[in-house]
Amino acid sequence: MTKTIVITGGSRGIGRATALLCAKRGWNTVISYVGNKEAAEQTQADCENAGGKCVIERCDVACEQDVISLFASAINGFGTLDGVVNNAGIVASPQPIIDMDIARMQRIFDTNILGAYIVAREAARHMVRSRGGAGGAIVNVSSMAAKLGGPNEYVDYAGSKGAMDAMTIGLSKELGPEGVRVNAVRPGIIETDIHASGGRPNRAADLGPGCPLGRAGKAEEVAESIIWLLDDASSYVTGAFMDVSGGR
């Protein structure tokens, strides 16, 4: 069955890899971007070449109205909503807490947890059976930082992902009876642009060899787990966390 999947931050990295795997299955995707429209257009073209219809839309996940419009585009474009990947996320450069300012914490929480909350709420409004929805699957992209804590590096980011994990548990219990499954993946050290945007371009190369599997992961390897959690193959899985971390 063709599914329609909303992916936040879908123009690059883990979001883009997930969109491409969706497209290979013939699924429709609605991907959001914030700054880089060209990257989003490239992902859209690549999805369509891979066999899936794709709509792109500018959306800051921390802006309620942007998120409402994103979901309206999914429904208007494809008529249904089957899955949502709460993927958009940011990190800041490594700092001990004594040097951090409040603005940094607020920026990270606005995107990583307020944004994820607004996206989950809009997903639920469209999916919940008692409101006329057909159920669905939400996959939150958390982080191993939620378990490891990010000491001396980014305790703020780790806190935002810990909050996401708690929300995943709560939403799975609240929305399960309404036919909506809610799960999370926790990537470890994955080769994407997020490390450069956090001021550590070599982070994956530096830390990958220390993982039990001896290397950093690839965005596609995280996307495979996300796809499984979106797919009916995981129809009895909710409130679950999948560590995609090479054993880290």
Active site residues: 157
User: Could you tell me the smallest distance in angstroms from the CB atom of residue 236 to ligand NAD?
Assistant: 26
Query: Footprint of ligand NAD on residues 125-184 (CB under 6 A)?
Result: 141, 143
Contact predicate 163/108, CB 8 Å: no
- Among the listed ranges 18-26, 77-85, 97-105, 191-199, the one in contact with ligand NAD (CB under 6 A) is 191-199
129 or 200: CB nearest ligand NAD: 200
- Decide: is 52 part of the binding site for ligand NAD (CB under 6 A): no
Coil, strand or helix at 26: coil
- Among the listed ranges 6-14, 42-50, 118-126, 228-236, the one in contact with ligand NAD (CB under 6 A) is 6-14
- Among the listed ranges 73-81, 83-91, 125-133, 234-242, the one in contact with ligand NAD (CB under 6 A) is 83-91
User: Could you tell me the smallest distance in angstroms from the CB atom of residue 213 to ligand NAD?
Assistant: 14
Exactly one of 136, 187, 208, 246 binds ligand NAD (CB under 6 A); that residue is 187
Cβ of 66: how many Cβ atoms within 10 Å?
A: 17
135 or 241: CB nearest ligand NAD: 241
Cβ of 50: how many Cβ atoms within 10 Å?
A: 16
Per-residue CA distances from 180 to 42, 56, 92, 183 (Å): 31, 24, 32, 10
d(CA 42, CA 48): 10
Per-residue CA distances from 134 to 106, 112, 140 (Å): 35, 27, 20
> Which stretches of 93-245 are DSSP H helices?
102-109, 115-127, 145-148, 155-175, 194-197, 203-207, 219-230
- Decide: is 197 part of the binding site for ligand NAD (CB under 6 A): yes
d(CA 238, CA 180): 9
- Among the listed ranges 13-21, 130-138, 206-214, 232-240, the one in contact with ligand NAD (CB under 6 A) is 13-21
Give Cβ neighbours of residue 228 (< 8 Å, ≥ 6 apart). 234
Contact predicate 6/123, CB 8 Å: yes
Exactly one of 87, 172, 183, 238 binds ligand NAD (CB under 6 A); that residue is 87
Exactly one of 3, 7, 12, 83 binds ligand NAD (CB under 6 A); that residue is 12
Q: How many residues bind ligand NAD (CB under 6 A)?
A: 30
Exactly one of 3, 5, 6, 15 binds ligand NAD (CB under 6 A); that residue is 15
Note the residues at the interface with ligand NAD (CB under 6 A): 8-9, 11-15, 32-34, 59-62, 87-90, 111, 115, 141, 143, 187, 189-190, 192-194, 197, 219
